[in-house]
């Protein structure tokens, strides 16, 4: 009867973690390769308008950024400098926008071409004539989805 209540002394086998660093570095390299981080160096000075109902863009892979502001350093004098248009990191002439948009569209997948969105980040003092000219050139390039950037007012 003693054998029925006899408890066996089994130990839990230890976990072999020798391959754990290899697995961690493989996952790390995967995310480093897959992640696409695009950041434009803003070459124009901006005072972005503020808004109450601000929404974020969902798919940033198909977004083309256009900045309209005064040319020059970001910091410094708030007045002076000529108005400039920057498209994805380069100061451009507004008349060149249709050709540049077509070039950008050519490098996108078919799915992202359909979702192409232009994000306008315009200084609050920018002349409306320049903004209208940029919008007219976007219309010529059939870039009809336009998003206006603003900073959210903290309540």
List the domain boundaries for the chain. 44-152
Residue 86's DSSP bridge partners are: 67, 91
CATH number of 44-152: 3.30.420.270
Cα 62-68-71 angle, rounded to 5 deg = 125
* Pairing of β 63-71 and β 44-45: antiparallel
Q: What is the pLDDT tens value at each position of the chain, 155 positions in all?
A: 555 666 667 777 787 888 888 889 899 988 888 876 666 667 776 666 666 666 676 667 778 888 888 887 554 445 667 899 988 778 889 999 999 989 988 888 888 888 888 888 888 888 999 999 999 999 998 888 888 877 766 66
Q: For residue 31, what pLDDT is reported?
A: 84
Q: 97-106 and 128-140 are packed helices; what angle lies between their axes, rounded to 10 degrees? A: 50
3-class DSSP state of 10: coil
User: Token pair for residue 67?
Assistant: 């900045």
Taking the whole predicted model, whether its pTM rises above 0.95 is answered as no
């Amino acid at each position: 009867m003693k054998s029925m209540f006899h408890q066996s002394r089994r130990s839990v086998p230890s976990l072999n973690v020798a391959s754990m660093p290899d697995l961690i570095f493989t996952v790390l390299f995967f995310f480093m390769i897959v992640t696409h981080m695009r950041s434009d160096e803003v070459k124009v000075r901006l005072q972005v308008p503020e808004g109450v109902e601000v929404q974020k863009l969902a798919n940033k892979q198909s977004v083309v950024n256009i900045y309209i502001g005064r040319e020059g350093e970001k910091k410094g004098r708030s007045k002076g400098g000529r108005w400039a248009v920057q498209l994805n990191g380069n100061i451009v002439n507004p008349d060149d926008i249709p050709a540049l948009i077509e070039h950008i569209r050519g490098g996108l997948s078919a799915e992202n071409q359909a979702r192409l969105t232009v994000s306008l980040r315009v200084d609050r003092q920018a002349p409306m004539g320049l903004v209208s000219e940029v919008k007219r050139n976007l219309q010529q390039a059939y870039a009809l989805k336009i998003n206006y950037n603003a900073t959210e007012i903290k309540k």
